[in-house]
Amino acid sequence: MMGGWLRRALFFAGWMLCGPAWADEPLVVAPAPSEIDITTDFTGTKLKEVGSIRGPADVIIKLVGPKQVAKLSRETRIGPFWVEGETASLEGAPSLLYLYSTAPIDSILPPEEQNKYGLVLEGVPVHVAPQLKAHAEEDWRMAFFRIKERQGYYIEDDSAIKVFGNRLFIADMRLPGDLQTGTYTVETLVVKSGKVVGRNVGQFRVRLSGIERWVWNAAHDNAWLFGSLFTLLAMLLGFALNAIPYRRAR
C-alpha cells in the first residue's frame, strides 16, 4: 500500500515539474489498482486516488459498484408477533455508490448537470418487480435508498477530497468488507462555473481469492456434485460426533 502511494506521489511530482508538458490537460488521474482480491481475512480496504487539475476548480469522484438484485420485505404485526408480509424485488441499482466532492454537489452543479452525470443518490434507476401501484412502488424505492444509506453503501461526502495549491488533489475511499464481486467504476469530474470541464473514467475488479474462489467456482460450475459432497461431509461429521463417547449428566 505504501509503495503504491509513493509511486503515485512521484508520478505527479514529475508531471508538475514539467509544467507546460501537461498544461493543456484539464485533468490527470493516477492509474488505480486493476484488481482487489477478497480472502478469508478481508475486512475492507482503502483506495487512494491522486490527481491533478489546472487552476482553481472543484472535483467530484463517483465510485459505482456492480448492479445487484435486492429483495426487501415489509414486516406485519399479527397480535404480539411480527411476521414477514409483502415482499418486493428491486433490480438495476448499483450495489455501492459513493459521491465524493470538494464542496456540496448542489452548490457547484445545477440539477440538469447532476442528472446528466448521475450525481443524485436517490436518482439511480431502480426497477421494482413485480409491478405494483405507483405509490407502492415509490415506497419500496425510498425504503431501498434509506437502507443503503444507513448501511453505508450509498454515501455523499463533500470533505473526502483534499486539494493542494489548486493543482494536486487526494481522496481516500474506504471500501467495506462485504464487497460484491464484479467491476467497479471510478469517474472523476472537474467542475468550473457550474460545468463539467474534465472527465476521467477508470475501472477495477473485485474477485474472490484462495479457498473462497475455489468454493464459489465449485458451487457454480458443478452445483449438483458440490451439493452432494457437502451433504455427505455433513452426514460423516454427524456420525463422527455420535461415535465420540461422552459422560451422561446426572
Quick: pLDDT tens for 145-194.
Answer: 999 999 999 999 999 999 999 889 999 988 998 889 999 999 999 999 99
Helical H segments across the chain, by residue range:
2-18, 105-108, 111-116, 134-151, 211-221, 223-243
**Cβ atoms 45, 76 nearer than 8 A:** no
User: Residue 117: inside a domain, yes or no?
Assistant: yes
Same domain, 234 and 130: no
CA–CA distance, 169 with 188 (Å, rounded to integer): 11
What was the pLDDT predicted at 103?
95
Place 219 in a pLDDT band, splitting at 50, 70 and 90: very low
Place 246 in a pLDDT band, splitting at 50, 70 and 90: low
User: Residue 72: inside a domain, yes or no?
Assistant: no
Q: Give the residue, 80 or 59, on which the prediction is more confident.
A: 59
What was the pLDDT predicted at 235?
74
User: Residue 73: inside a domain, yes or no?
Assistant: no
Place 45 in a pLDDT band, splitting at 50, 70 and 90: confident
Same domain, 144 and 218: no
What was the pLDDT predicted at 225?
59
Same domain, 56 and 160: yes
Q: Give the residue, 118 or 238, on which the prediction is more confident.
A: 118
Same domain, 152 and 97: yes
What was the pLDDT predicted at 73?
81
CA–CA distance, 192 with 102 (Å, rounded to integer): 12
CA–CA distance, 72 with 89 (Å, rounded to integer): 6
pLDDT digits (tens, 9 = 90+) for 67-88: 998 888 877 777 777 667 678 8
Domain end residue (candidates: 206, 223, 241): 206
What was the pLDDT predicted at 80?
73
pLDDT digits (tens, 9 = 90+) for 86-102: 788 889 999 999 999 99
Please state whether beta strands 45-53 and 67-78 pair in parallel, antiparallel, or not at all (unpaired): unpaired
User: Which CATH number covers residue 58?
Assistant: 2.60.40.2550
Regarding pTM above 0.85, the answer is: no
Q: Give the residue, 246 or 110, on which the prediction is more confident.
A: 110
Same domain, 62 and 116: yes
User: Residue 216: inside a domain, yes or no?
Assistant: yes
What was the pLDDT predicted at 95?
94
Same domain, 165 and 244: no
User: Residue 126: inside a domain, yes or no?
Assistant: yes
Same domain, 128 and 249: no
What was the pLDDT predicted at 137?
82
Same domain, 170 and 117: yes
What was the pLDDT predicted at 245?
64
Considering its fold, how many domains does the chain have in total? 2
Neighbours of 215 (CB within 10 A): 13
Q: Dihedral angle at the C-alpha atoms of 171, 176, 185, 112, nearest 10 degrees?
A: -70
Residue 159: which domain range?
A: 2-66+93-206
User: Residue 81: inside a domain, yes or no?
Assistant: no
Same domain, 248 and 174: no
Same domain, 193 and 215: no
Same domain, 151 and 107: yes
Same domain, 54 and 21: yes
User: Residue 82: inside a domain, yes or no?
Assistant: no
User: Residue 85: inside a domain, yes or no?
Assistant: no
